[in-house]
């Protein structure tokens, strides 16, 4: 169910939750959780089931228990809006987790940095690590491999009998990889890959390469 | 004054115009003046406005004998019209009568187009008659002290009730009426409807279930014996006439002489896209028409539309290419001829369109029918019979539309606030909510106050608040404003305004069409070639272009299904044309349409068969695309949509398989990448009516129908906010929002009433479960004929080439993916 990937002699595990585990660094990469979105909607009169909000933190707990990483790095859009009650639950989660938490700030992250820092979370605009470049927006830089989020990538698949499917995916080009959105109350944006791109779709608890080893 | 004296006043006015009141007008006047409610069945252009406006005025004269010197303040009547465009016409007619009698009564219009200053003036002092739409009436109920405003009402007239009846706008109307019944003690409720199959029910829905309204009501029918003559345009060379398609351009030259021979012609198309194309092609082939023909559809700017309507009245146009935007309302006396392009799918619609022509008494209305593909000639033949036998469809009212109820409750909470104990009995007396349980009612109240069914810790949900004395009220100004902007039940695809860079509004088109284009690309819209300059917020800014382009604007819009009445006649027509033994001519094949079709029948007989009434045909064949299996129930596309899902699901229970489904009005197709043995369908009795509901529900889980219905429900119930005017959120946002919401409800709140409503609507309105059941019963009584063909047959051709498809699968998704390929950049 997990897809292994080697990039520049480093080993990465692509997990069906949408997270990536970086073995050499013992680091978990997670993009676009959008915590607080459900509460934000409810505050504006849209009665979205509140249970949906808890699920995100449950998922975070499950995945960090599974990999036991030293560091968890959020690639932006961790919190969807201004402060609301979901922040309290997030505080508890940070207290609970053993890992060091890092946030690469995204366009939705409008909560003041000091609030994160009070929880012991380091906040960066970008991060360069062992030849890898971690950002929220996909950003190309000569000589570095870029991990990013922001896009919520998805692809459209076509089968015989004119079947179509849209699935969230990890989207890899020569020098970059865009992670799918981790949050459960987020949409996806359909991309059209070129022949050189590699696409790993998430289907029913599996990560499947839909571009490699196929006649294109 | 006695009623008789009052009626004499009206008669005198009619005489002064050298008119004579029709019997149905007299009947309506009398009924109204004796305090009755009712439904008037009368067509457009028959004098229906005076049938109801006259007694409203007379009642005023009775209540206020000193009317000549002293005007009694307060609104007297509301006139509801579904189309804004009709309001001016009604205003002119009503004002004229009021003025001629020296009543001093005023008539005002309030719709989305009414300027803010005018609305504010109306709020200070209402006109005596207010002409408005269901949405604008709801907005009035959302303003403070609406109960004082409407206290003096003596009548509400719902015009074109048949148009509202089968939609959620009808539910909205029912709810508004339920409130007015309480706050306006002297109210009389009247509806005006064209002929539909279920007029009695239409009246029940209008008046609600409380006995004091029903018992004191009357249904009045205007005698209408308008003759209609249907003439089919039959292709001269039927052999080269296409088997599929929906544009009909092959026969373009055939209508040119018809256009040239008559004063004004309306050419009705079924979609806005088709309308654009026909207009374009007519001008291309016949440049001499330039300036003499125009186009009219719902997405063209209002000014242009009004100009076209005026031009029709002035007789300054030779022809207008139109869509259903011209079906309704205003009379166009100069229209001499009507041409219908492609099957209208329903008799009522066809009659309405035919009725647009030639209002000279004694002469028949002529409508030409232009088929867009060969089999549509069958439809032409069926239509002729339907017209002759006066078959008309029903309009099915919505039941338990919780989304509309929730919107309505918030509306009341925005204005005065409400006490549930007052409102529940009113709701319970509407037709739509007669079956609502106390549990469901409480669910709705919880939904708007705590956003769920149980209180949760730290929840910040905010919409309607309950005061200490139990009043349900919206306190937040922001929520009140957002709600007022969201009132309405018509959820359209996201539209973009098309404007010239230099200013000047052209019309609106759907966002997806624009989003495919880059600046510099050209497209044809509203008869003009335009170049996209840039997109700013929800505006596409364009400039005129002299480039030639084939990129004509298109619209999503649903295709209408064949009504059950039409399907039945269609089946009979098809069978009457069958060759008894496949060689001799059938003497019953007598209409010109069926004669013209004979070569197709021969071909169909050669490759397969034309089924008779005791036979049900299944065809199978293989092409490059996979294995095709075709079934021909001839029941209309909605029933076929359901039946194909049902059958595909039942087959998939036998072994893992994936189908792609296609359907049209005649039949449906299951396309698969594996061979499908029809014998297993027959052996396992898969057309059974047993477990229909369960099986349908399961098959639907995969076909996403309910998900699509949910989009409207989410918007109407206020779960999804469509944005502030001019600050519109792009609808990609809205789309994924409601899709996302649907998944969230499925995963976390599957007993949510709105979520369940999406399924119910799918069954009742989309899949027409009742009709489906009957169709299955029929198939089970027929002999099943399985033909294994070598290639596509004439019957199958329009279906297998259909591009609108559903899919259904019982295979594990991961297994399917392995056989799929990625869509790559070209």
What does the DSSP assignment read for B363-401?
SPEEEEEE-SSTTHHHHHHHHHHHHHHT-----PPP---
**What are chain A's domains?**
3-150+173-186 (3.60.21)
Query: Are residue B637 and residue B505 in the same domain, yes or no?
Result: no
Nearest to A208 among B451, B817, B824 (CB): B817
In a domain, B489, yes or no: no
Beta-ladder partners of B468: none
Q: Residues B675-692, buried b or exposed e (16+ Cβ, 10 A)?
A: ebebeebeeeebbeeeee
Rounded to 5°, the CA angle B727-B731-B733 comes to 100
pLDDT at site B776: 93
Nearest to B460 among A39, A160, A186 (CB): A39
In a domain, B280, yes or no: yes
Query: Are residue B216 and residue B280 in the same domain, yes or no?
Result: no
- Cβ atoms of A48 and A42 within 8 Å: the answer is yes
- Cβ atoms of B123 and B115 within 8 Å: the answer is no
Whole-angstrom CA distances from B188 to B37, B39, B73, B126, B477 are 5, 11, 19, 19, 35
pLDDT at site B817: 64
Least confident of A135-149, B433-447, B480-494, B666-680: B480-494
Average pLDDT of the residues in B747-765 = 88
Which domain covers residue B445, as residue numbers? 402-412+432-467
Distance CA B820, CA B285 (A): 44
Distance CA B128, CA B557 (A): 39
Query: What share of chain B in percent tops pLDDT 70?
Result: 87
The average confidence (pLDDT) of chain B is 84
> Within an 8 Å CB–CB cutoff, is residue A213 touching chain B?
no
pLDDT at site B583: 43
Write out the DSSP string of B593-654. HHHHTHHHHHHHHHHS----TTEEEEEEEEETTEEEEEE---S-HHHHHHHHHHHHHHHHHH
- Cβ atoms of B525 and B551 within 8 Å: the answer is no
Predicted interface score ipTM higher than 0.90? no
Average pLDDT of the residues in A170-188 = 91
Task: Look at A163 and B809 and tell me if their CB atoms are within 8 Å.
Answer: yes
Query: pLDDT-derived band of residue B208, with 50, 70 and 90 as boundaries?
Result: very high
Query: Are residue B151 and residue B246 in the same domain, yes or no?
Result: no
Distance CA B530, CA A138 (A): 35
pLDDT at site B494: 60
Average pLDDT of the residues in B484-508 = 78
Task: Look at A216 and B821 and tell me if their CB atoms are within 8 Å.
Answer: yes
Task: Look at B744 and A185 and tell me if their CB atoms are within 8 Å.
Answer: yes
Distance CA B360, CA B262 (A): 15
Q: For chain B, what is the domain count? A: 5
Half-sphere exposure of B277 (CA within 13 A, CB side): 19
In a domain, B723, yes or no: yes
Chain A nearest-CA distance from B740, in A, is 7
Query: Are residue B660 and residue B788 in the same domain, yes or no?
Result: yes
Are β-strands B365-370 and B155-158 bridged in parallel, bridged antiparallel, or unpaired?
Answer: unpaired
Q: Which of A3, A48, A200 to mutate to test the interface with B (most CBs of B within 10 A)?
A: A48
Nearest to A195 among B458, B809, B824 (CB): B824
Chain B nearest-CA distance from A37, in A, is 12
The average confidence (pLDDT) of chain A is 89
pLDDT at site B753: 95
- Residue B262's φ and ψ, nearest 5 degrees, are -120, 165
Task: Look at B459 and A85 and tell me if their CB atoms are within 8 Å.
Answer: yes
pLDDT at site B176: 97
Query: pLDDT-derived band of residue B811, with 50, 70 and 90 as boundaries?
Result: low
- Cβ atoms of B546 and B529 within 8 Å: the answer is yes
Query: Are residue B692 and residue B646 in the same domain, yes or no?
Result: yes
- Coarse DSSP helix, strand, coil percentages of chain A, rounded to the nearest 5 percent: 20, 35, 45
CB pairs under 8 A between A and B: 147
In a domain, B481, yes or no: no
pLDDT at site B702: 44
pLDDT at site A81: 78
- Whether B225 has a pLDDT exceeding 90, the answer reads no
In a domain, B641, yes or no: yes
Q: Which of A114, A182, A194 lies closest to A152, judged by CA?
A: A182
The token duo for A189 is: 């944006």
Nearest residue of A to residue B456, measured between CA atoms: A50
Query: Are residue B344 and residue B443 in the same domain, yes or no?
Result: no
Distance CA B540, CA B525 (A): 12
- Whether B732 has a pLDDT exceeding 50, the answer reads no
Q: Read off the pLDDT of residues B532-583 as tens digits, 9 standing for 90 and up.
A: 888 776 678 889 888 777 676 666 544 556 777 788 888 888 777 665 554 4
- Residue B454's φ and ψ, nearest 5 degrees, are -140, 150
pLDDT at site A94: 93
Chain A nearest-CA distance from B517, in A, is 16
In a domain, B724, yes or no: yes
The token duo for B621 is: 């064949």
Write out the DSSP string of B782-804. SEEEEEE-SS--TTTHHHHT---
Chain A residues 137-156 within an 8 A CB cutoff of chain B: 155-156
- Cβ atoms of B466 and B449 within 8 Å: the answer is yes
Task: Look at A49 and B744 and tell me if their CB atoms are within 8 Å.
Answer: yes
In a domain, B40, yes or no: yes
Helices B753-761 and B731-748, packing angle to 10 deg: 110
pLDDT at site B109: 94
Q: Which of B822, B823, B825, B826 to mutate to test the interface with A (most CBs of A within 10 A)?
A: B822
pLDDT at site B495: 66
Torsion angle, alpha carbons of B281, B283, B287, B293, to 10 = 150
Q: Which residues of B touch A214 (CB under 8 A)?
A: 821-822
Average pLDDT of the residues in B236-242 = 73
Nearest to A49 among B452, B458, B816 (CB): B452
Q: Read off the pLDDT of residues B646-680 as tens digits, 9 standing for 90 and up.
A: 898 899 888 888 888 888 888 999 998 888 889 98
What element of type H or E holds B768?
Answer: none
Q: Which of B369, B773, B363, B377 lies closest to B570, judged by CA?
A: B377
Residue B286 burial (CB count, 10 A): 16
Query: Are residue B117 and residue B53 in the same domain, yes or no?
Result: yes
- Whether B700 has a pLDDT exceeding 70, the answer reads no
Nearest to B744 among A44, A52, A160 (CB): A52
pLDDT at site B502: 84
Query: Are residue B88 and residue B19 in the same domain, yes or no?
Result: yes
- Whether B435 has a pLDDT exceeding 90, the answer reads yes
Nearest to A161 among B458, B659, B720 (CB): B659
Q: Which of A2, A34, A55, A163 to mutate to test the interface with B (most CBs of B within 10 A)?
A: A163
pLDDT at site B545: 86
Chain A nearest-CA distance from B172, in A, is 21
- Cβ atoms of B692 and B773 within 8 Å: the answer is yes
Distance CA B496, CA B728 (A): 10
Query: Are residue B785 and residue B661 in the same domain, yes or no?
Result: yes
Q: Which residues of A touch B805 (CB under 8 A)?
A: 162
> Within an 8 Å CB–CB cutoff, is residue A185 touching chain B?
yes
Least confident of A89-98, B29-38, B597-606: B597-606
Q: Which of B824, B825, B826 to mutate to test the interface with A (most CBs of A within 10 A)?
A: B824
- Whether A214 has a pLDDT exceeding 60, the answer reads no
Higher pLDDT, B703 or A154: A154
Distance CA B286, CA B280 (A): 10
Task: Look at A159 and B821 and tell me if their CB atoms are within 8 Å.
Answer: yes
Q: Residues B613-650, buried b or exposed e (16+ Cβ, 10 A)?
A: eeebbbbbbeeeebbbbbbbbbbbbbbbbbbbbbbbbb
pLDDT at site A47: 86
Q: Read off the pLDDT of residues A52-106 as tens digits, 9 standing for 90 and up.
A: 888 889 999 999 999 999 999 999 999 987 788 889 889 999 999 999 999 999 8
Q: Read off the pLDDT of residues A5-51 as tens digits, 9 standing for 90 and up.
A: 999 999 999 999 999 999 999 999 999 999 988 888 888 888 888 88
Query: pLDDT-derived band of residue B329, with 50, 70 and 90 as boundaries?
Result: low
Question: Whole-angstrom distance between the N-terminal and C-terminal Cα of chain A?
Answer: 24
Distance CA B54, CA B48 (A): 10
Nearest residue of A to residue B738, measured between CA atoms: A187
Task: Look at A161 and B671 and tell me if their CB atoms are within 8 Å.
Answer: yes
The token duo for B434 is: 């007669």
Give the three-class secondary structure for B495: strand
Chain A residues 85-124 within an 8 A CB cutoff of chain B: 85, 88
Query: Are residue B210 and residue B251 in the same domain, yes or no?
Result: no
Query: Are residue B57 and residue B123 in the same domain, yes or no?
Result: yes
pLDDT at site B821: 60
Give the three-class secondary structure for B188: strand
> Within an 8 Å CB–CB cutoff, is residue A6 touching chain B?
no
Nearest to B626 among A47, A160, A199 (CB): A160
- Residue B421's φ and ψ, nearest 5 degrees, are -65, -25
Torsion angle, alpha carbons of B315, B317, B319, B323, to 10 = -90
- Whether B457 has a pLDDT exceeding 70, the answer reads no
- Whether B518 has a pLDDT exceeding 80, the answer reads no
Rounded to 5°, the CA angle B205-B210-B213 comes to 80
- Whether B585 has a pLDDT exceeding 80, the answer reads no
Q: Read off the pLDDT of residues B299-328 as tens digits, 9 standing for 90 and up.
A: 787 788 888 888 888 888 889 998 877 776
- Residue B267's φ and ψ, nearest 5 degrees, are -105, 110
> Within an 8 Å CB–CB cutoff, is residue A43 touching chain B?
yes
Q: Residues A137-153, buried b or exposed e (16+ Cβ, 10 A)?
A: bbeeeeebbbbbbbbbb
Task: Look at B452 and A47 and tell me if their CB atoms are within 8 Å.
Answer: yes
Q: Read off the pLDDT of residues B130-176 as tens digits, 9 standing for 90 and up.
A: 999 999 999 999 999 999 999 999 999 999 899 899 889 999 999 99
Residue A164 burial (CB count, 10 A): 13
Query: What share of chain B in percent tops pLDDT 90?
Result: 36
Q: Which residues of A touch B445 (CB under 8 A)?
A: none
Q: Which residues of A touch B626 (CB under 8 A)?
A: 160-161
- Whether B381 has a pLDDT exceeding 90, the answer reads no
Query: pLDDT-derived band of residue A163, with 50, 70 and 90 as boundaries?
Result: low
Nearest residue of A to residue B480, measured between CA atoms: A45
Least confident of A84-88, B244-248, B283-287, B794-798: B244-248
Write out the DSSP string of B229-262. EEEE---S-GGGS-SS-S--GGGHHHHHHHHHHS
- Residue B493's φ and ψ, nearest 5 degrees, are -60, 155
Task: Look at B816 and A165 and tell me if their CB atoms are within 8 Å.
Answer: yes
Q: What is the pTM of this model?
A: 0.80
Q: Which residues of B touch A211 (CB under 8 A)?
A: 822
In a domain, B483, yes or no: no
DSSP summary character for residue B766:
I
CATH assignment of the domain containing B234: 3.40.50.300
- Whether B785 has a pLDDT exceeding 50, the answer reads yes
- Only one residue has tokens 């959105």, namely A181
Query: Are residue B170 and residue B270 in the same domain, yes or no?
Result: no
- Report the 3 state secondary structure along B681-716: HHHCCCCCCCCHHHHHHHHHHHHCHHHHHHHHHHHH
Nearest residue of B to residue A84, measured between CA atoms: B460
Q: Which residues of B touch A162 (CB under 8 A)?
A: 625, 660, 671, 805, 807
Task: Look at B461 and A43 and tell me if their CB atoms are within 8 Å.
Answer: yes
């Amino acid at each position: 169910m997990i897809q292994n990937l080697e990039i520049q002699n480093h080993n990465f595990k692509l997990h069906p939750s949408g997270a990536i585990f970086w073995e050499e660094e013992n680091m978990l990469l997670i993009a676009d959780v959008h915590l607080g979105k459900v509460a934000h909607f409810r505050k504006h009169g849209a009665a979205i089931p509140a249970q949906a909000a808890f699920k995100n933190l449950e998922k975070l707990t499950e995945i960090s228990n599974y990999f036991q990483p030293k560091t968890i790095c959020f690639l932006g859009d961790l919190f969807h809006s201004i402060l609301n009650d979901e922040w309290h639950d997030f505080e508890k989660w940070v207290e609970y987790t053993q890992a060091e938490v890092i946030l690469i700030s995204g366009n939705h992250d409008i909560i003041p940095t000091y609030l994160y820092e009070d929880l012991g979370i380091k906040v960066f605009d970008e991060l360069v690590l062992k030849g890898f470049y971690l950002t929220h927006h996909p950003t190309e830089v000569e000589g570095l491999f870029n991990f990013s989020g922001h896009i919520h990538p998805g692809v459209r698949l076509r089968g015989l009998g004119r079947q179509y499917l849209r699935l969230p995916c990890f989207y890899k080009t020569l020098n970059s990889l865009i992670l799918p959105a981790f949050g459960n109350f987020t949409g996806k944006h359909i991309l059209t890959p070129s022949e050189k791109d590699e696409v790993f779709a998430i289907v029913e608890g599996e990560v499947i390469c839909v571009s490699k080893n196929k006649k294109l | 004054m006695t009623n008789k004296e009052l009626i004499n006043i009206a008669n005198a006015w009619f005489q002064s115009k050298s008119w004579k009141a029709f019997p149905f007008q007299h009947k309506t006047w009398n009924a109204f003046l004796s305090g009755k409610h009712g439904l008037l069945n009368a067509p457009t252009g028959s004098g229906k406005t005076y049938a109801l406006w006259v007694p409203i005025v007379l009642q005023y004269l009775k209540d206020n004998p000193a009317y000549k010197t002293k005007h009694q303040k307060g609104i007297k009547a509301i006139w509801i019209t579904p189309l804004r465009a009709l309001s001016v016409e009604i205003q002119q007619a009503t004002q004229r009568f009021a003025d001629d009698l020296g009543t001093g009564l005023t008539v005002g219009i309030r719709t989305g187009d009414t300027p803010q200053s005018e609305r504010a003036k109306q709020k200070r002092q209402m006109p005596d008659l207010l002409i408005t739409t269901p949405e604008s009436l709801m907005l009035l109920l959302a303003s403070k002290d609406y109960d004082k405003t409407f206290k003096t009402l003596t009548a509400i007239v719902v015009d074109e009730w048949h148009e509202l009846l089968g939609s959620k706008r009808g539910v909205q109307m029912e709810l508004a009426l339920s409130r007015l019944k309480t706050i306006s003690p002297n109210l009389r409720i009247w509806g005006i409807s064209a002929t539909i199959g279920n007029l009695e029910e239409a009246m029940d829905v209008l008046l609600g279930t409380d006995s004091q309204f029903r018992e004191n009501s009357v249904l009045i029918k205007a005698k209408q014996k308008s003759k209609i003559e249907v003439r089919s345009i039959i292709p001269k060379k039927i052999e080269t006439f296409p088997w599929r398609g929906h544009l009909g351009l092959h026969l373009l030259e055939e209508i040119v002489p018809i256009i040239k021979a008559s004063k004004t012609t309306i050419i009705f198309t079924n979609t806005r896209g088709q309308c654009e194309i026909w207009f374009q092609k007519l001008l291309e082939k016949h440049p001499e028409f330039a300036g003499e023909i125009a186009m009219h559809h719902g997405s063209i700017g209002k000014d242009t539309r009004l100009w076209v309507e005026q031009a029709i009245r002035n007789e300054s146009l030779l022809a207008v290419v139109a869509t259903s935007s011209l079906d309704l309302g205003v009379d166009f006396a100069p229209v001499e001829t009507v041409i219908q392009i492609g099957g209208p799918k329903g008799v009522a619609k066809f009659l309405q369109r035919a009725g647009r022509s030639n209002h000279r008494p004694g002469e028949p209305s002529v409508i030409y029918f232009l088929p867009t593909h060969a089999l549509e000639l069958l439809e032409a033949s069926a239509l002729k019979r339907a017209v002759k036998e006066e078959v008309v469809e029903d309009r099915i009212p919505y039941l338990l539309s919780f989304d509309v109820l929730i919107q309505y409750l918030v509306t009341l909470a925005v204005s005065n606030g409400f006490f549930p104990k007052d409102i529940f009995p009113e709701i319970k007396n509407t037709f739509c909510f007669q079956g609502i349980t106390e549990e469901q009612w409480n669910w709705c109240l919880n939904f708007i106050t705590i956003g769920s069914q149980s209180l949760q810790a730290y929840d910040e949900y905010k919409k309607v608040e309950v005061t200490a004395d139990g009043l349900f009220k919206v306190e937040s100004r922001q929520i009140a404003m957002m709600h007022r902007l969201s009132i309405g039940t018509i959820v359209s695809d996201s539209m973009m305004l098309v404007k010239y860079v230099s200013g000047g509004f052209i019309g609106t088109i759907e966002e997806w069409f624009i989003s495919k284009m880059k600046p510099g690309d050209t497209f044809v819209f509203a008869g003009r070639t335009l170049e996209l300059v840039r997109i700013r917020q929800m505006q596409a800014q364009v400039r005129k272009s002299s480039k030639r382009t084939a990129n004509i604007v298109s619209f999503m819009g649903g295709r209408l299904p064949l009504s059950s009445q039409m399907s039945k006649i269609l089946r009979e027509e098809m069978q009457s044309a069958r060759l008894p033994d496949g060689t001799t001519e059938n003497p019953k094949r007598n209409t010109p349409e069926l004669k013209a079709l004979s070569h197709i029948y021969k071909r169909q007989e050669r490759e397969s068969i034309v089924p008779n009434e005791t036979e049900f045909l299944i065809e199978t064949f293989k092409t490059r695309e996979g294995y095709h299996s075709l079934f021909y129930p001839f029941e209309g596309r909605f029933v076929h949509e359901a039946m194909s899902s049902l059958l595909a699901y039942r087959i998939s229970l036998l072994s893992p398989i994936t189908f792609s489904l296609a359907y049209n009005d005649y039949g449906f197709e299951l396309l698969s990448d594996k061979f499908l043995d029809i014998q297993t369908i027959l052996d396992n009795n898969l057309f059974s009516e047993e477990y229909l509901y369960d099986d349908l529900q399961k098959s639907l889980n995969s076909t996403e129908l309910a998900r699509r219905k949910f989009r409207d429900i989410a918007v109407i119930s206020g779960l999804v906010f469509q944005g502030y005017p001019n600050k519109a959120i792009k609808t990609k946002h809205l789309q994924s929002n409601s899709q996302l919401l649907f998944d969230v409800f499925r995963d976390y709140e599957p007993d949510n009433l709105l979520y369940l409503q999406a399924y119910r609507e799918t069954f009742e309105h989309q899949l027409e479960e009742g009709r489906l059941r009957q169709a299955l019963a029929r198939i089970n009584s027929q002999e099943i004929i399985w033909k294994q063909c070598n290639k596509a047959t004439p019957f199958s051709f329009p279906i297998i080439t259909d591009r609108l498809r559903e899919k259904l699968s019982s295979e594990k998704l991961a297994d399917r993916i392995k056989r799929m390929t990625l869509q790559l950049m070209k």
